[in-house]
Structure 1
Amino acid sequence: MDDRDKILTQLAEERWRVSLALTLAMMFIYFGFILLVAFNKSLMGSLIIPGLSWGILLGALVIISAWVLIYLYVRWTNNYYDRKIEDIVKD
């Protein structure tokens, strides 16, 4: 196995770790929300201000957190992963 193969293997492992970490973060957020809906209905139904309950607010935050995690992955890929691949291809 030459150096290029080792670098590609390390890069693939790193991409897998980043993907797994972001997936686990999203699962934690989503299932946390679902568990709150299932087991703490009174909290989720209580109003923060007229017309806005905790359930609606947290549901919106779940969606926003997905966008943020996607943004983080795309930014990491564009700034780190793709540059490393370009460096390998150039060599």
Structure 2
Amino acid sequence: MDERQVEQILQNPKFKEMVAKKSKLSWTLTAIMLFVYVGFMLLVGYNKAFLKSSFDGGVITWGIPLGLGIIVLSFVLCGVYSFIANRSLDQLNAEAMKEVEAIAHEKGNH
């Protein structure tokens, strides 16, 4: 591919839309995970007494379900990303790839 074809691909509306949606989704999910994780770390650093306390005087402390919740959240966010990517981003990718292939085949005509 020459520079002209690369520029055509980068300026392609479907390609731009796909990149924008993927970026927005990735940054949103990253922000959610970062917010929850940093919140947990701040809780560990500044409120250990709460994490050591147990519900209803039982054996399990608040720290265990909160820590497990963060792990579960990471899997849930991966599932959300996969669901959205399979539902909309893959379709945009396929449409963009068709146009990219058309651009690549243009080289033989010029």
Normalising by the residue count of structure 2, what TM-score does the alignment of the two structures yield?
0.74
Task: Decide which structure has greater strand share.
Answer: 1
CA contact (8 A) 2:14 2:92 kept: no
**Which residue of the partner structure matches residue 23 of structure 1?**
30
Report the counterpart of residue 105 of structure 2 in structure 1: none
Give the superposed CA RMSD.
Answer: 1.7
Matched-pair identity in %: 29
Which has the greater radius of gyration?
A: 2
Q: Which runs of 5+ in 2 are unaligned?
A: 1-7, 100-110
Measure the CA separation in 1 of the matches of 2:37 and 2:55.
21
Distance in 1 (CA, whole Å) between partners of 2:96 and 2:82 is 20
Gaps of 5+ in 1: none
**SS of alignment partner, residue 53 of structure 1:** coil
Q: 1 CA distance for matches of 2:18 and 2:46?
A: 41
How far apart, CA to CA, are the structure 2 residues paired with 1:60 and 1:85? 35
Runs of 4+ in 1 over 6 A off after TM superposition: none
Matched residue count: 90
Residue by residue over 1:11-54, the C-alpha shift from the partner in whole angstroms, topping out at 9 and shown as x without a partner, is: 10111010000000000010101100110011010011522110
Q: 1:6 maps to which residue? A: 13
Determine which of 82, 85, 88 is the counterpart of 1:74.
82
Aligned partner of 1:39 among 23, 46, 52: 46
Cα distance in 2, alignment partners of residues 57 and 9 from structure 1 = 41
TM-score (norm 1): 0.88
User: Which protein, 1 or 2, shows the higher relative CO under an 8 Å CA cutoff with sep ≥ 6?
Assistant: 2
One-letter code of the match for 2:19? A
